[in-house]
Structures are given as C-alpha cells and as structure tokens.
Amino acid sequence: MVDYQEIINKYKSYDINFNEELVSKAIEFAVKYHGSQIRESGEPYYNHPIAVGEIIAQMCLDTDSIVTALLHDTIEDTKLTYDDIKEHFGLEVANLVEGVTKLTKIEFIPENVRQAENFRKLLLAMSDDIRVLLVKLADRLHNMRTISFVKSEEKRKRKALETMEIYAPLAERIGIQQIKTELQDICFRVLYPKARESILNRFKNIATDKDHLVEQVVGEIQSKLQENNIKATVYGRRKTPYSTWMKMKQKNVGIDQLSDIIAFRIIVEKVEECYQALGVIHRVYKMVPGNFQDFISIPKSNGYQSLHTVVIGPLLQKIEIQIRTIQMHNIAELGVAAHWRYKQGDPDSSQCSEYAWIRELLSIVEYQNDPEESLKNTKLAMYYNQVFCFTPKGNLVALPKGATVIDFAYMVHTDIGNCCMGAKVNGCEVGIDTKLVNGDQVEILTDKVKTVAPFWENIIVTGKARSEIHKTLQVERRKQYIKLGDNIISKALKNIGITNKDEALVKVCNFLKKDKDSLLLAIGNGSLTREEIVKHVTPKKGRLSSTLSLLNFNRRKKTILQQENDAIPIKGLISGMAMHFAKCCYPLPGDNIVGIINKGDGVNIHTAECDVLNSFKTTPEKIINVTWDSNKANIPFICKIKISLINKPGSLAILTSEIAGDGANVINFKLDSRNQDLFEMTFYIEVLSLVHAKKIINNLRTKEVIHQIERVHNN
C-alpha cells in the first residue's frame, strides 16, 4: 500500500512549498496507471516517478515540475494521454510531460554526427521550458542510481556512455554540479570499474595525511577570517574519482603527482565579503600566478559566480580555493534550478535570465571563433556539423552544415525539390543556392514547369538531394538520348535508301531482344556499334558503314564519380580526406595541379592556372602539392571545350562523329548563342588525358565546319 502522505512529507522536508492536493493526485495517477508494471530491480515501476519527484523537490522547483516528474512516463508507457493530463492537471503540465516524452524518444547512437543531432534536439526542446530538461535529468539520475539492476552488461555500458556523453555535459552546462558529479561518478563506475577502484584505494592510503592537511587549512582560514570580522563557512573536499582520473589523463601523471586533489570553499554572506576574504587568503598563503579567476564580475554563461584562486598551502601543497556567497553557492550546485527558485513568483518568469544562456549558446556555437577551446569538455563542438531549420508549419528539418535551399526542398519531398525555383527564408525571397543557417524558417517556392538543371549537383551537400537530382537527370538524359537516337537512325537509313525505318528497327530489336526505346537509347548514347546495325539492317549496303560511323562513340561508363579510393589517380592526398575534381577548371592527367583543402569538403583538385587560386594567396596553408598517379589515371575525365560551329546542315553530325572517332564521348553540350553564320556551343567530353584532349582539339581544328575551338580552363 502506497503511503501518499509519507511521500508528501518527504518532499516537504526539502523546505519547499507546493500544492499538496495536486501532487497527491499526481502520485495517485502514477500508481494507478503504471499499475502492475515492474522495473528490472523487481520493485513496482511507480517507485521510479516518485523518486524522480523527490529529486525535483530537492531542487526546490514548483508544483508543476513535481507533478511532471510524477507523470513523466505516463504518455509513453501507459494509457494516459496528453488530453487526460491536460484535463486533470492543466495545459502547462501536459506540455511539460509531452516535452519530457519527446526527449525520451531521442535515440542515442555513439557516432559523432548523430550525437550532435541529439544534442541539438535537446537544446531546442529545453529552450521552450527549462523544467523539461530538469525533469529529464532527474529521470536519468534515478535510472543511473539503479543501473546495477540492469542485467545486460552491454545495456549498462550503452546507457552509461549515453549519460557521460550527453546528460552529464548538459547538467554541467546548465550549472547543476550535484547532478553532473553524481552522473559522472556512476558512469565511471560502470565504464571503468577497475580504474575507479584503484583511485578509491589510493584515496584510502593517503587519507590520513590529507585529512590532517584539510583540518589544518580549514582551521587557519577560519581563524584569519574571524580576525578580519568576516563571517564564513569553510570546508575542504576531495575531488571525485572521475575528476581525479581525468586530471591524471590530461597531465599524464600518477595520482601521487597530483597536487590539487583537495579543494576548499569559503561561503560568505555578502558579495563584498568575497573580495575581503580573497585578500585575507592572499596574505596568509602565497598565490600561484596565473590561477586567479573572477567569475563574480564576469559570470559564466550559465549564471555561475565565484572567485577561484590557487595558493601554496602547508607542506608546500598547491590548494584550490573557491569563494562565493550562499546564493552563489546554491546556483553553483543547482544551476538554473536555483535560478528558478529565486525567480518564483515573477509573472515574467518565462523571460528570466536562466533561459538566456540557451539562446546565447546557439549563437555562441554558430559564431564563436574558437569553439573547440571554450567547449572542449562537452559535445557541443560536434554541433558544427549540422544546421536545423523549420518549415512554415514549424516542423524541424536537420541538414548538414552548408546545405542550401535545394537540399531543404528535397528533404521535404522529392517532388518539391524537382520543381523548386527558390524560397522565402524568414520571409525574404532568396535563390536556390542560398545556404541556410540555424533557426531559418524556409518556405519553398515551386514552379510545375521548372526542371532539374545539371548545375544543381554543384550546389547541394545532402545525399538525398544528390541521389534524387541524379535520378531525375538520368531520366531526362534518357529521353534526350532516345530522341537523338531516333534522329540519327532516321537520317542514316534515309541516306542508304531505306524509307521504312520502323521495319528496319524491328529487325534489330528482334535480334538484340531490345524494345524500340532501348534500341534508340543505345544509338543515342553511342553504345550500339556500327557492325550490329550493318549486320541486321542491310549488310550489303556499304554506305551505311560510313554513314553510321557517327554511332560508334565508344562510349565509356561514367565512373568518375563512383571511383573507389584505390582508383584515385592522385598522389599526395591527406589520408582519409575526400577528394573532388574542381568543376571550374576540369583538370586532366598531364595538367599541372594543386590541391585546395576546404573544411568539411575534403580536397579539391585544380589546375595550377585556375583563377580560383588567386583567392588563396592569403591562406597558402590550404594549398597542398599533389601530382597525377600515372598508374591509376586510366579512367575518363571531363574536358570542357568551347566551339564555334559553322551553321550548315550536318555540321553537328560531323563534329560528334570526329569526337567519337578519336575514342571520346560527348556527355553533355549546350547552345550558348547562335546567329545566321555560327553556333556558339559548350561541349563536355570524356577523355583519358591532356594528350588525348589535345589530339581531339587539334583534329577538330582541321575540319571545315569548325570556325574556332579552345579548351576552357575557368568558368
């Protein structure tokens, strides 16, 4: 039988005022709806929310927070619904419970990118109401306190790793040192039991000497402060096993070489007494230069205030001393929970300063010059890998950093991506190549007649967008090749006197077991050989042999974008870095080349004459020396050439025939301009090397249909 009053009395023992009737009702709901559910320890499940409620009561939070703690698992694990909670406990509690439920559903995967995503989601969730996070931390703390009952060692370690990587840093970030310290110690016990036991044993061996030192220092400080009429509480404490272990790792020393495993705190009543006490300490003990920090004048972003100093104490031991007021101490131990306590009753509490650090954090993470240094003990550095934006309806869309409007459109839906023409970002119209930043609200603008353009592949970063664009372009290219194949075969058959094209194609289709579209596609992309056409249409008509030479494109498979690492024809790359060939200068084997390191994008290979290099004159460290690997440079590369073509019938056929005859393949071309005499065109052809490209260009220069031709080195 659950004694509700005993639970209420335990909560009240923490010097907290709350609505006893509402809390009793929440306890009743927890017991009723969790019913016969059992935890792995064998105890009733409802003991867990009751324990979480006690942790919240220890933080001296409000009635709604305690009720939320008691009901935090009901939406996920019982028949109780959001609407039920709203009806019996009000809208605010219902929203808080739902917020905790959302955090609970976030799955932890021990990979950096996903951890960053989870961390970000936690931040977003708690920015609405900090109490959501406080209840979740209390929930995690009680689960870790009882983790020894979890039978699976793998599950224990996974939960401990998740707690160490996500929840302990969060507790530290919002200033709740009590929870952070306990979580770290429990995780340390689960993940590194032998190391923790070793440190505890060493603590026992040195306890006598250290205890004597603590008593001596506390006595000296207390006496000197009293002499100066400063009323204070002074005590010493030993660093935790986990913090001691971390210092041993950071300094690469044994525990006997650590000089600061004991720390002292001086708690005074007034702010001015903090500085008076500091003066006394520096008169009694010699200060260690470079170790004084004033977090009272400049508080930490989570509200933490204290004076820190390190001095040489008795026996020439370095000792750390922290000086703070009672209120500062409460905030140091309970962080934003203490803020909440001090701010209760403020009608504008939703705008209290304890929320500001969360929003400031988002700005700090996005714009700080050296985040790795300032955030080195948290997982916030991983946050740089992603940006989070919103749809007009408020749905969250996670994207890699550097993602554009096009990436966002494809994340919403493929059809929206395919007809994207721009967007409204935060109400302002922008282009499809606009890069998005955290918090952007994005409304995609579409046009049903809009089609995917090849250059889109150069302005996207997500795999989904790249895959969908590639798929759409393949479909479009297939249509174009079929149309081109139909034109080619029609002219070819007409030239040898065959007027019934369909009948001729049926012969080839029957023999090759291809449908008509597949046959025309093969002709259009150059994979169908001259011999097959000659053999199955009119083997005796030699004119076909010469006319259909333009079909023999010797098409090569487009593998350049799918090459495995062992086929990369570049020497001098940094191990493990991605590599891309620049699409501004299209380097070819035989060109002088350089590599440019782009953060988050690997190494881009450019020709040594590329105009892009001018923008790296002030950052030469980003340029690396690379060369071609002649043993591997046997894959096709894209060569971009500009051609002025004489405007007369058959000139394009002659051009493509000559390119095919030189063993190259036209993968794309576009008409830049035209007049009565000339077509100005850009061709993208696949070649094997610079020598191969020069051979093709020199050959084309001899043709009457070519007015001018040159390779393009820069866009």
Report the distance separating Cα 583 and Cα 560, nearest Å: 13
Closest to 150 (Cα-Cα) out of 40, 45, 47: 40
Is 77 noted as a catalytic residue in this protein?
Answer: yes
474: Cβ contacts below 8 Å, ≥ 6 apart = none
Report the distance separating Cα 29 and Cα 77, nearest Å: 13
């971009």: which residue's tokens? Answer: 640
DSSP for 420-436 reads EEEEEETTEEE-TTPBP
Report the distance separating Cα 318 and Cα 314, nearest Å: 9
DSSP for 657-695 reads HHHHHTT-EEEEEEEEEE-SSEEEEEEEEEESSHHHHHH
Provide the β-strand partners of residue 386: 400
Report the distance separating Cα 288 and Cα 73, nearest Å: 50
Report the distance separating Cα 361 and Cα 364, nearest Å: 5
Q: Which pair of tokens denotes residue 279?
A: 């003066």
Q: Which pair of tokens denotes residue 200?
A: 């505890």
**Among 20, 76, 294, 366, which one carries the catalytic annotation?**
76
Q: Are 532 and 512 in contact (CB under 8 A)?
A: yes
């782009």: which residue's tokens? Answer: 598
Report the distance separating Cα 639 and Cα 694, nearest Å: 10
Q: Are 318 and 262 in contact (CB under 8 A)?
A: no
| Helix boundaries (H) for 604-667 | 651-661
Q: Are 297 and 323 in contact (CB under 8 A)?
A: no
**Among 20, 40, 64, 77, which one carries the catalytic annotation?**
77
Q: Are 524 and 492 in contact (CB under 8 A)?
A: no
Closest to 266 (Cα-Cα) out of 228, 218, 315: 218
Q: Are 30 and 36 in contact (CB under 8 A)?
A: no
Is 272 noted as a catalytic residue in this protein?
Answer: no
* Helix H or strand E segment including 273: helix 271-284
Question: CA angle at residue 197 from 192 to 200, to 5 degrees?
Answer: 130
Three-state secondary structure call for residue 262: strand
Q: Which residues are catalytic?
A: 76-77
